[in-house]
A and B are shown apart, each in its own frame.
Chain A
Amino acid sequence: GAVVSQHPSRVICKSGTSVKIECRSLDFQATTMFWYRQFPKQSLMLMATSNEGSKATYEQGVEKDKFLINHASLTLSTLTVSSAHPEDSSFYICSARGPGPGTEAFFGQGTRLTVV
């Protein structure tokens, strides 16, 4: 299957600081990227969807200013968590999908964010 690389895999930051997470599709052009958040023993909750070159679409209840998503190219999307709080601690996973209907989405390795 296609390869999606997410970096970093783990990050610990202090409250009030910002963290940037990168998601790259290594061997295909990702026209759409999804960002999910997963709390322990729970499902993947979609945070936002981004299409290359356009603004991200956020799910209801997700703060745009706090979770800034940039999809600058067909192979890179970034999620920046601003003014992080301990309750933002979670597993963040990106997913990338190529063009065309019915194409599968491939996941990055995920980023374990801990805010202290």
Chain B
Amino acid sequence: QQPVQSPQAVILREGEDAVINCSSSKALYSVHWYRQKHGEAPVFLMILLKGGEQKGHEKISASFNEKKQQSSLYLTASQLSYSGTYFCGTLRGGSQGNLIFGKGTKLSVKP
């Protein structure tokens, strides 16, 4: 029931774009995206609640395709501060269910 993330790791140069995908074999009620830097707790980025929903936060945006049971996180014109591990989380057991995370995608942005 753990969502599947791809790719496992990405290396970018500053200014390049990246896409991180998250898919599930179960129906998705919502998708939660977090970023975690080494040695720190995850930081909430955004939550997508409805199929077709898209959200943006600075140059980071995400989409949610409910039918395909997947979500994508888009990082545009990446900055050094974007480096970290990105996790998608999905709810198990309904809209008030437990938040289960994928294995993460490690993003490294180089100067």
- Hey, which bits of chain A sit against chain B, CB under 8 A? 1, 6, 32, 34, 36, 42-44, 46, 49, 93, 95, 97, 101-102, 104-110
Q: Is B44 a contact partner of A106 (Cβ separation < 8 A)?
A: yes
Residues of A within 8 A of B96 (CB): 32, 101
Residues of B within 8 A of A6 (CB): 41
- Complex interface residues of chain B between 79 and 93 (CB less than 8 A to chain A): 87, 89
Shortest CB-to-CB span from B34 to chain A, Å, is 8
- Complex interface residues of chain B between 60 and 76 (CB less than 8 A to chain A): none
Residues of A within 8 A of B98 (CB): 34, 46, 49
Q: Is B44 a contact partner of A93 (Cβ separation < 8 A)?
A: no
Shortest CB-to-CB span from B90 to chain A, Å, is 12
Q: Is A1 a contact partner of B41 (Cβ separation < 8 A)?
A: no
Q: Is the interface of A mostly helix, strand, loop or mixed?
A: strand
Q: Is B101 a contact partner of A101 (Cβ separation < 8 A)?
A: no
Q: Is A109 a contact partner of B40 (Cβ separation < 8 A)?
A: yes
Q: Is A102 a contact partner of B41 (Cβ separation < 8 A)?
A: no
A-B pair number, CB within 8 angstroms: 51
Pick the most buried of B34, B87, B98: most chain A CB atoms within 10 A of its CB: B98
Q: Is A34 a contact partner of B99 (Cβ separation < 8 A)?
A: yes
Q: Is A102 a contact partner of B49 (Cβ separation < 8 A)?
A: yes
Interface residues on B, range: 20 to 34
- Hey, which bits of chain B sit against chain A, CB under 8 A? 2, 29-30, 32, 34, 40-44, 47, 49, 87, 89, 95-96, 98-104
Closest residue of A by beta carbon distance from B48: A102
Query: CA separation between A109 and B44, bound complex, in Å?
Result: 12
Given contacts A44-B87, A102-B30, contact A107 B43 (CB under 8 A): yes
Q: Is A101 a contact partner of B103 (Cβ separation < 8 A)?
A: no
Q: Can you spell out 22 A-B residue pairs with CB atoms less than 8 angstroms apart?
A: A6-B41, A32-B96, A43-B2, A43-B101, A43-B103, A43-B104, A46-B98, A46-B99, A93-B41, A93-B42, A95-B99, A97-B99, A101-B29, A102-B29, A104-B32, A104-B44, A104-B47, A107-B41, A107-B44, A108-B41, A109-B40, A109-B41
Residues of A within 8 A of B99 (CB): 34, 46, 95, 97, 105
Query: CA separation between A101 and B99, bound complex, in Å?
Result: 12
